[in-house]
């Protein structure tokens, strides 16, 4: 299976929710989250627990835990080889439905205008 292209979702104003969240994390947590993104790039649709899991309605999560804090990165697939990163957050128990709904809305907007919602490399 070919490597997946990992794309960061961009809002209409040019901001990147994932980057904004990630830049506020401690360096060790950033490194762990980046390693999860690299595994997603390597494995694509084949990535499974404990590193990733399917939530609902086309939304998946990357899972990274550091010092008892569960960090989650929500993403969805666009086509066969692109994973679009919606946003990240820290959670205590279940993934909040509002975060899944936010990722679903971003997926809808991305599908309508991929170029507009892709953060350039």
| Domains in the chain, CATH or no CATH each | 5-112 (3.30.2310.20)
Residue 3's pLDDT band, with cuts at 50, 70 and 90, is: confident
Quick one: tokens of 9? 């979702």
Residue 111 belongs to what H/E stretch? helix 97-112
Residue-wise pLDDT tens digits, 85-98: 999 999 888 899 99
- Beta carbons within 10 angstroms of residue 82's beta carbon: 17
What mean pLDDT comes out for the span 67-90? 94
- Beta carbons within 10 angstroms of residue 103's beta carbon: 28
Residue-wise pLDDT tens digits, 55-71: 999 999 999 999 899 99
């Amino acid at each position: 299976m070919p490597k997946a292209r990992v794309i960061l979702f961009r809002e209409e104003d040019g901001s990147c929710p994932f980057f904004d969240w990630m830049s506020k994390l401690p360096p060790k947590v950033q490194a762990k989250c980046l390693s999860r993104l690299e595994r997603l790039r390597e494995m694509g649709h084949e990535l499974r627990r404990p590193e990733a899991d399917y939530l609902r309605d086309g939304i998946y999560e990357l899972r990274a835990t550091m010092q008892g804090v569960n960090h989650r990165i929500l993403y969805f697939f666009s086509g066969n080889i692109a994973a679009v990163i919606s946003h990240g957050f820290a959670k205590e128990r279940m993934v909040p439905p509002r975060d899944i709904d936010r990722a679903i809305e971003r997926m809808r907007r991305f599908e309508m205008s991929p170029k507009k919602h892709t953060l350039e490399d």
